[in-house]
Chains A and B, each alone.
Chain A
Amino acid sequence: MLMFRAMRYSGLPRSVLLLRFASSIVSRKHDYDLVVLGGGSGGLACAKEAVEYGARVLCFDYVKPTPAGTKWGVGGTCVNVGCIPKKLMHQASLLGEAVHEAVAYGWNVNDRDIKPNWKKLIQSVQNHIKSVNWVTRVDLRDKQVEYVNSMGAFVDAHTIEYRTKQGERKQLSAENVVIAVGGRPRYPLIPGAIEFGITSDDIFSYETEPGRTLVVGAGYVGLECACFLKGLGYEPTVMVRSIVLRGFDRQMSELLAAMMTDRGIPFLNTCIPTAVQRQANGSLLVKYLNTTTQKEESGVFDTVLWAIGRKGLTEDLNLVAAGVKTVNDKIAVDHTEATNVPHIYAVGDIIYGRPELTPVAILSGRLLARRLFAGSKQLMDYTDVATTVFTPLEYSCVGMSEEMAIEKLGAENIEVFHGYYKPTEFFIPQKSVRYCYLKAVAEVSGDQKILGLHYMGPVAGEVIQGFAAALKSGLTVKTLLNTVGIHPTTAEEFTRLSITKRSGRDPTPASCCS
């Protein structure tokens, strides 16, 4: 740790430090010190970090096309079919809203019948992605990470086999292997699902306007897609099997669903799809079962988007040959990210039971490389990872949900501070402040250590990030209320929380400000 710190912070010439670390890279009996399977966020971070410490690293990356034929370049889910395009679509949708707001603020812009040019938007998004792919490739070359655009699979615990572009079979051996193959969206097992449905892998490069879209699944991927489609003027409907945003705070999740309903996104609750058929006019007839009423119902859509979950890509790895055990389609790892085979590790979405988030994959990949090649002892800390759902009013949280806090500490031992608030900018365009809400879940006694923070409103991720650092620093309610706000922001509302749920007092603000 000290050595690592010295490297990172002292700014000594790299060569000096590499000499120091050379001892930790002993083996030359394998072709590579490290082979990374998967060139996504976690894999690339791990590979690049390992090279920094003198390891010989090779990274495999291969994208199987989707049933609809979509494929993409290096960089994994986040860059190609995840956070980046999603955030850009979200931004496009917010900007449509901004045009209307601009009118309210006095700009002489014609906001009647504004429409997005789907093709232009897709083009812009894809151009950005292509440029990121390119920069990533250049970066790998600069850092001397060998990159092979092929699917690597185990032959034995130290040997990987792959096919070259020419179809030639090749093998190479590795001292250490990091599995970072990530996941892909699932399709439901119903007629027409694969033929006629698309997933988040396709939507960001979809040639045709999505139109009336059935989004099946109410996890964050489904809700985000439904929301930006709505914001872009299309007509999404969300089909929910049981609950929205499983795993998130229930109250916040319900609030978010209500906000979406308010914005004109219909929810088909307790429904499961049973079949998709193409009609003569090209539109899709979706049959579904309402599990509450047990009634068969149907609807006609232009697009059906499956967002029912993601599966880990263990199948093509021939893990059996290496002796690596799987849990369903994921891989279980210990606190050092090692699988049951000690020199084979896994990071990112392929890991069983950890948050599937880009920055988690990056940090754990990077820390793993430092432990392997730089003598570091630092382990990845998976607790209190903040996350955001990019719906029109965004939802972001860090730490425990209210339910989890109750489960772990007991309802009598927690205090929940909450409040609705009114963003200053919302008044002039008369935007709804109905769902602008935040809460802090804390211990009831002592300085009231904060267990979780939840925020629904504009730029939620930007708001919560700093509080995530605060939580890691041991934030208490006492400190929070002693923190002076930045006025006028929405983040300052956290410093003004004063009403507890236990008090039963009305959490709506009496006045507009101060």
Chain B
Amino acid sequence: MSLTLWNSRFCVTLVRRQHATIFTSSASKTIAANSLHHTFSNNYQQQQHRNLTTMKPTNTAVAEKGTSRSSRISADGSTSATGINVPPFNHPHCDRQAMYQQPVRKIKTLRGSYDYDLVVIGGGSGGLACAKEAVANGARVACLDYVKPTPIGTKWGVGGTCVNVGCIPKKLMHQASLLGEAVHEAAAYGWNVDDKIKPDWKKLVSSVQNHIKSVNWVTRVDLRDKKVEYINGLGSFVDPHTLSAKLKNGDRTITAQTFVIAVGGRPRYPNIPGAVEYGITSDDLFSLDREPGKTLVVGAGYIGLECAGFLKGLGYEPTVMVRSIVLRGFDQQMANLVAASMEERGIPFLRRTVPLSVEKQPDGRLLVKYECTETGEIGSDVFDTVLWAVGRKGLVDDLNLPNAGVLAHNDKIQVDCDEATNVPHIYAVGDIIHGKPELTPVAVLAGRLLARRLYADSDLRMDYADVATTVFTPLEYACVGLSEEDAVKAHGADEIEVFHGYYKPTEFFIPQKSVRYCYVKAVAQRHGDQRVYGLHYLGPVAGEVIQGFAAALKSGLTIPTLMNTVGIHPTTAEEFTRLSITKRSGLDPTPASCCS
């Protein structure tokens, strides 16, 4: 009997020798987890040869206390066997206790019988980190990378989403937009600068692209130096140990002991007339050869908001179309503040609206018809650019996963806490993983740790909990840990205390920048140690502010410690140390004075 435990908070997978798989949801988590731990440690030995039968068909075998819920749940579990409907994780966090207690599966390198010890499919952040780390630990590694051009023909080099069409160009565009603002502020501070300014879109795009090209180049050199064989081809499985790579000059068959799937994702297009022909995505925007002009951004996830934010900052006219809520998955109070801060800057939001069609007018502009989902009212407007930011899909289609026996969950791949798929020697890291944060540093760290576990005798697993993240909107939002909603869900409203406050950055006074949305909050345990569950910050350089607090959260930050931490004056980060008003008190969280 053996068992896998991941994320006891929300989802427990349990395996017995008779190949039982059970998924439970959060309600029964604690009981299940506790009872399972015991069973688990008693069965340490059997685990040594555990393989990933985790998702094979099951009977309804259940942990001792897995009572009433289990029957429904095991039914879910059994459907997973068919690969049609593996129940999704409700929460992207791996349970730490389970993570540290479960022995790490070791795969010995079998030199000789395969072309490579490891083939990594996908040369993005996660894949490259894994490949390089594996080589550093003595493995023979090849890395495949291939970028299918977008419908309008955009393509790019090695490095994946982050470097080419993600974090890097977006941060640069964001910076460009902030610098435009800085020119106006400079004038307020007394610089004799003419602040009637415009950006040169072509110059900006070419600067951004030059930077990306240089990163691509450095990446190639780095791979060569580190002796990772780089194959510019699209890989698909022939069998569990064989891959066929489509290269420029024909196909190549590659065998490997171990595979890591790190193919990532690409933006989705909505299924409406004109979407693919006339719309673009974030894959195209950073190399667009014309000014975007009046732009409809469809989707209010972080990508949509970031694009709308920097387009506005660069002087274009973005409109954001929101189907239901802004920044799904994030703290909704903060999400609404982010949206409000964007509206204050003149970015209109079309709420509860879905696009119906895109048509090209004779003058070349795009007529977008849309519908309000509440009223059923049909509207339309004309734009220069339509940008889809409606979500991303995992690139499982070209992998021919059935040949390897790897099960997909929709367009993603489910892995256990070793990042192993249902096929023990095939792993996945990065955006292709189901139910984990789609973030570069997550992929990098997961890839690196995986390589160390495979080839360097490491036991350290990736801890997906309390991953900090930032939304680079004009006023940035960063957070770490639980949203207020999730904290309420997990601990109950009576057991959490939310400290919050608006604040006024010192630098905002002279240029009279709006301080209306500068806001911080800490979500904490109400009693006991008053452990901090989550921190949320809306304001300048949010990512820089939150990173250290992410380390603090991992170190067990409590409210008394936070309040005992001396601030750095004058910064905005110090506002966290000055939080004193609870939501429960009903006191006004706006600051009385400007400082001290």
* Residue contact A117 to B191, C-beta cutoff 8 Å: yes
**Is B457 an interface residue when CB atoms closer than 8 A count as contact?**
no
* Residue contact B561 to A469, C-beta cutoff 8 Å: yes
Bound-complex Cα distance A10 to B530 (A): 13
Supposing A459-B541, A486-B547 touch, asked if A45 and B191 sit within 8 A by C-beta, the answer is no
**Is A128 an interface residue when CB atoms closer than 8 A count as contact?**
yes
**Is B558 an interface residue when CB atoms closer than 8 A count as contact?**
yes
**Is A114 an interface residue when CB atoms closer than 8 A count as contact?**
yes
**Is A8 an interface residue when CB atoms closer than 8 A count as contact?**
yes
Supposing A11-B587, A114-B191 touch, asked if A131 and B594 sit within 8 A by C-beta, the answer is yes
Residues in chain B near residue A11, CB distance under 8 A? 582, 584-587
Q: List 16 A-B contacts (CB under 8 A).
A: A9-B497, A87-B570, A99-B191, A102-B197, A108-B197, A116-B189, A124-B510, A386-B568, A466-B549, A468-B565, A469-B548, A470-B555, A473-B552, A482-B463, A494-B551, A514-B444
> Which residues of chain B from 511 to 563 have a CB within 8 Å of any chain A CB?
540-541, 543-552, 554-559, 561-562
Supposing A106-B207, A467-B552 touch, asked if A95 and B185 sit within 8 A by C-beta, the answer is yes
* Residue contact A468 to B190, C-beta cutoff 8 Å: no
Bound-complex Cα distance A82 to B506 (A): 13
Bound-complex Cα distance A292 to B176 (A): 48
**Is B566 an interface residue when CB atoms closer than 8 A count as contact?**
yes
**Is A485 an interface residue when CB atoms closer than 8 A count as contact?**
yes
**Is B272 an interface residue when CB atoms closer than 8 A count as contact?**
no
Map CB proximity to B onto A66-98 as digits: 1 under 8 Å, 0 otherwise: 000000000100110001100110011001101
**Is B180 an interface residue when CB atoms closer than 8 A count as contact?**
yes
Supposing A98-B179, A468-B566 touch, asked if A45 and B190 sit within 8 A by C-beta, the answer is no
Q: Which of A10, A87, A462, A480 contacts B506 (CB 8 A)?
A: A87
Bound-complex Cα distance A383 to B564 (A): 11
Bound-complex Cα distance A359 to B568 (A): 7
Residues in chain B near residue A386, CB distance under 8 A? 565-566, 568
**Is A461 an interface residue when CB atoms closer than 8 A count as contact?**
yes
**Is A464 an interface residue when CB atoms closer than 8 A count as contact?**
yes
Q: How far is the CB of A499 from chain B (nearest CB, A)?
A: 14
Given contacts A128-B509, A461-B574, A462-B572, 17 further A-B contacts (CB under 8 A): A358-B596, A378-B564, A461-B571, A463-B544, A465-B567, A470-B551, A472-B552, A472-B561, A473-B557, A474-B556, A475-B551, A484-B442, A484-B468, A486-B550, A488-B167, A491-B543, A514-B129
**Is B329 an interface residue when CB atoms closer than 8 A count as contact?**
no
* Residue contact A106 to B186, C-beta cutoff 8 Å: no
Which stretch from B198-206, B276-284, B365-373 is at the chain A interface?
A: B198-206
Residues in chain B near residue A234, CB distance under 8 A? none
Bound-complex Cα distance A247 to B594 (A): 31
Residues in chain A near residue B207, CB distance under 8 A? 104-106, 428
Residues in chain A near residue B585, CB distance under 8 A? 9-11
* Residue contact A79 to B218, C-beta cutoff 8 Å: no
* Residue contact A424 to B469, C-beta cutoff 8 Å: no
Bound-complex Cα distance A102 to B189 (A): 16
Bound-complex Cα distance A338 to B405 (A): 74
Q: How far is the CB of A242 from chain B (nearest CB, A)?
A: 27
Bound-complex Cα distance A212 to B520 (A): 42
**Is B490 an interface residue when CB atoms closer than 8 A count as contact?**
no
Which stretch from A144-152, A412-420, A505-513 is at the chain B interface?
A: A505-513
**Is B107 an interface residue when CB atoms closer than 8 A count as contact?**
no
Residues in chain B near residue A91, CB distance under 8 A? 189, 506-507, 510
Bound-complex Cα distance A128 to B504 (A): 13
Bound-complex Cα distance A109 to B183 (A): 8
A residues neighboring B (CB under 8 Å): 8-11, 41, 44-45, 75, 78-79, 83-84, 87-88, 91-92, 95-96, 98-99, 101-102, 104-111, 114-121, 124-125, 128, 131-132, 135-136, 139, 142, 357-360, 362-363, 378, 381, 385-388, 396, 424-425, 427-428, 458-459, 461-470, 472-476, 479-480, 482-492, 494-495, 510-514
**Is B219 an interface residue when CB atoms closer than 8 A count as contact?**
yes
Bound-complex Cα distance A465 to B183 (A): 28
Bound-complex Cα distance A111 to B195 (A): 11
Q: Which residue of A lies closest to B195 (CB)?
A: A109
* Residue contact A117 to B497, C-beta cutoff 8 Å: no
Interface residues on chain B, number (Cβ under 8 Å): 105
* Residue contact A102 to B180, C-beta cutoff 8 Å: yes
* Residue contact B568 to A424, C-beta cutoff 8 Å: no
Bound-complex Cα distance A262 to B554 (A): 38
* Residue contact A468 to B576, C-beta cutoff 8 Å: no
Bound-complex Cα distance A437 to B198 (A): 34
Q: Which residue of B lies closest to A8 (CB)?
A: B580
User: Across chains A and B, which 7 residue pairs bring their CB atoms closest together, nearest first?
Assistant: A466-B548, A11-B585, A465-B573, A491-B547, A466-B549, A467-B548, A106-B204
Q: Which of A45, A109, A495 contacts B596 (CB 8 A)?
A: A45
Q: Which of B128, B182, B593 contacts A136 (CB 8 A)?
A: B593
Residues in chain B near residue A142, CB distance under 8 A? 592
**Is B193 an interface residue when CB atoms closer than 8 A count as contact?**
yes
Bound-complex Cα distance A172 to B188 (A): 47
Bound-complex Cα distance A434 to B540 (A): 25
Q: How far is the CB of B35 from chain A (nearest CB, A)?
A: 28
Q: How far is the CB of B328 from chain A (nearest CB, A)?
A: 20
Supposing A79-B596, A468-B548, A470-B555 touch, asked if A424 and B574 sit within 8 A by C-beta, the answer is no
Supposing A107-B199, A425-B175, A483-B550 touch, asked if A98 and B189 sit within 8 A by C-beta, the answer is no
Bound-complex Cα distance A109 to B197 (A): 6
Supposing A463-B548, A479-B555, A494-B548 touch, asked if A111 and B193 sit within 8 A by C-beta, the answer is yes
Q: Which of A83, A462, A479, A483 contacts B545 (CB 8 A)?
A: A462
Supposing A463-B547, A479-B555 touch, asked if A96 and B566 sit within 8 A by C-beta, the answer is no
Supposing A75-B596, A106-B200, A483-B551 touch, asked if A495 and B441 sit within 8 A by C-beta, the answer is yes
Which stretch from B26-34, B208-216, B343-351 is at the chain A interface?
A: B208-216
Supposing A78-B596, A464-B568, A472-B564 touch, asked if A459 and B509 sit within 8 A by C-beta, the answer is no
* Residue contact B547 to A357, C-beta cutoff 8 Å: no
Bound-complex Cα distance A470 to B180 (A): 35
> Which residues of chain B from 342 to 384 have a CB within 8 Å of any chain A CB?
none
Q: Which of A44, A128, A492, A514 contacts B547 (CB 8 A)?
A: A492
Bound-complex Cα distance A102 to B480 (A): 31
Bound-complex Cα distance A512 to B213 (A): 12
* Residue contact B545 to A465, C-beta cutoff 8 Å: yes
Residues in chain B near residue A472, CB distance under 8 A? 552, 561, 564-565
* Residue contact A512 to B189, C-beta cutoff 8 Å: no
Bound-complex Cα distance A110 to B445 (A): 43
* Residue contact A488 to B168, C-beta cutoff 8 Å: yes
* Residue contact A124 to B188, C-beta cutoff 8 Å: yes
> Which residues of chain B from 416 to 475 have a CB within 8 Å of any chain A CB?
439-442, 444-445, 460, 463, 467-470
Q: How far is the CB of A495 from chain B (nearest CB, A)?
A: 7
Q: How far is the CB of A49 from chain B (nearest CB, A)?
A: 11
Supposing A135-B593, A466-B545, A469-B562 touch, asked if A488 and B194 sit within 8 A by C-beta, the answer is no
Residues in chain B near residue A124, CB distance under 8 A? 188-190, 510
Q: How far is the CB of A76 from chain B (nearest CB, A)?
A: 8
Bound-complex Cα distance A396 to B545 (A): 13
* Residue contact A115 to B191, C-beta cutoff 8 Å: yes
* Residue contact A108 to B179, C-beta cutoff 8 Å: no
Bound-complex Cα distance A104 to B467 (A): 33
Bound-complex Cα distance A451 to B175 (A): 34
* Residue contact A488 to B547, C-beta cutoff 8 Å: no
**Is B406 an interface residue when CB atoms closer than 8 A count as contact?**
no
Residues in chain A near residue B558, CB distance under 8 A? 473
Residues in chain B near residue A469, CB distance under 8 A? 548-549, 552, 557, 561-562, 565, 576-577
Q: How far is the CB of B291 from chain A (nearest CB, A)?
A: 11
Bound-complex Cα distance A428 to B580 (A): 41
* Residue contact A486 to B543, C-beta cutoff 8 Å: yes
Bound-complex Cα distance A78 to B556 (A): 33
Q: Which residue of B lies closest to A132 (CB)?
A: B594
Supposing A116-B192, A473-B555 touch, asked if A9 and B582 sit within 8 A by C-beta, the answer is yes
Supposing A114-B192, A488-B171, A491-B544 touch, asked if A108 and B199 sit within 8 A by C-beta, the answer is yes
* Residue contact A116 to B190, C-beta cutoff 8 Å: yes
